[in-house]
Amino acid sequence: MFGRRIELLRLFGFAIRLDLSWFLAVGLLTWWLASGVFPEPYPDLAPAVYWLMGLATALGLFASVVLHELAHALVARRYRLTIRSITLFIFGGVAEMESEPPSAEAEFLIAVAGPAASVVVAVSCLGVGALGPIVGLPMPLTGVPMFLGLLNLLLVGFNMIPAFPLDGGRVLRSVLWKLKADLRWATRISTGIGSGFGMLLILLGVWRMIAQDISGGLWTLLIGLFLRNAAKISYKQLMLRRSLEGEPVRRFMQPDPVVVSRAMSVAELVEGYIYRYHHKLFPVVDGDRLIGCVTTQAVKELPQIEWTRQSVNAVLLPCSSENTIGPDANAVEALSRMSRTGQSRLMVVEDGRLLGIIALEDLLNFLALKVELEGGQQGSTG
């Protein structure tokens, strides 16, 4: 979902990160507010004031999104769910959970926590905006919180549409899950609605562009594409997790992985291994001892002119929890670790020895086969 991210700060132990698309969102929102919104209700102000009001509102809105996602994360923590981070991006923010909630009740409470926090923020901002003129605050200092409150109410209304992965869709899933005690069925229904809602927004966006509303239409279309894609991915992730539950890593690992030596040159690594096997991670061994790994990303960061001069040792990454896993670990944990780190391969290690490699591709192939063989069968997953 995300590209390069910047860690901004930590709140209550959660990392708050900015996707690079966030800067584009702030710029566009500031421009829209400064040029198309504030001049009408607040006339005769200097252009710089409109821009400052726009920037303050945009930053305030994303601060509100952080509080919204933080509410989700704090309730999720009560149910022992691991939150990787809270990331702000062009369409708002998301608290990234590593697993599904343990029950329908937990899903419901986690889902409603965010909108509840946003309602509190909206009411507070509207209160400040309403009291501002009474206590003699300058016009800009009343306009910003007033409009910020209205934006939060609009976002709550949009978020509560029962289309997964919006909060309203998660509430719907929790209700369906409770009624039938079947998480897979509830997810299929709610993500189906989410996908359909995304398609509706796509069509609306195309219609708006045909009607000469290019910027509004493009924005609506992009939101629709995002929601439709997120709904489909959410269902696939659930299917994969459920299929892998209880399965040990050793069942999926490749027992004879291609390994490299720390003494070979980076040029030899590229020509003889990366271009030949097309892997993004290679274990580095010294005899029968695993000493680390080398990745295509590490090679990419080394200037190409140095490839013939430097050995693999120059780009060697040590073994860590981000690139290794035990053979008896749950395959779901391997999937979560890959998702968290962006790795598509993990080294399977026991007592310092390399036993094999587990690859995302192998997990996905297993899921495809299982769906093909068992797709017509229904079973409770609650």
**Is the pTM higher than 0.85?**
no
Hey, what are 244's tokens? 């892998």
Q: Where are the domains of the chain?
A: 5-244, 249-369
On the question of a cis peptide bond just before residue 165, with omega within 30 degrees of 0, the verdict is yes
**So what's the pLDDT on residue 380?**
42
CA dist 120 and 149 (Å) reads 9
Sign of CA dihedral 68, 70, 73, 77: negative
Fold type of domain 249-369: CBS-domain (3.10.580)
pLDDT for 216 equals 79
Rounded Cα distance between 252 and 249, Å, is 6
Q: What would the two tokens of residue 46 be?
A: 């200097």
Q: What is the pLDDT of residue 313?
A: 92
pLDDT of residue 21: 83
Nearest to 274 by CA among 294, 289, 250: 294
Sheet holding 289-295, edge to edge: 260-261, 281-286, 289-295
Reading the chain (382 residues) residue by residue, the pLDDT tens digits are 555 678 888 888 888 888 888 888 889 889 989 988 899 888 888 999 999 999 999 999 999 999 999 999 999 999 988 787 888 887 778 887 877 888 999 999 999 999 999 999 999 999 998 998 888 888 888 889 999 999 999 999 999 999 998 999 999 999 999 999 988 899 899 999 999 999 999 999 999 999 988 877 888 898 899 889 888 888 877 877 777 878 899 999 999 899 999 999 999 999 999 999 999 999 999 887 899 999 999 999 999 999 999 999 999 999 888 899 999 998 888 888 887 777 889 999 998 899 999 998 888 888 778 767 765 454 444 4
Per-residue confidence (pLDDT) for residue 168, from 0 to 100: 94
Pairing type for strands 5-11 and 92-97 reads unpaired
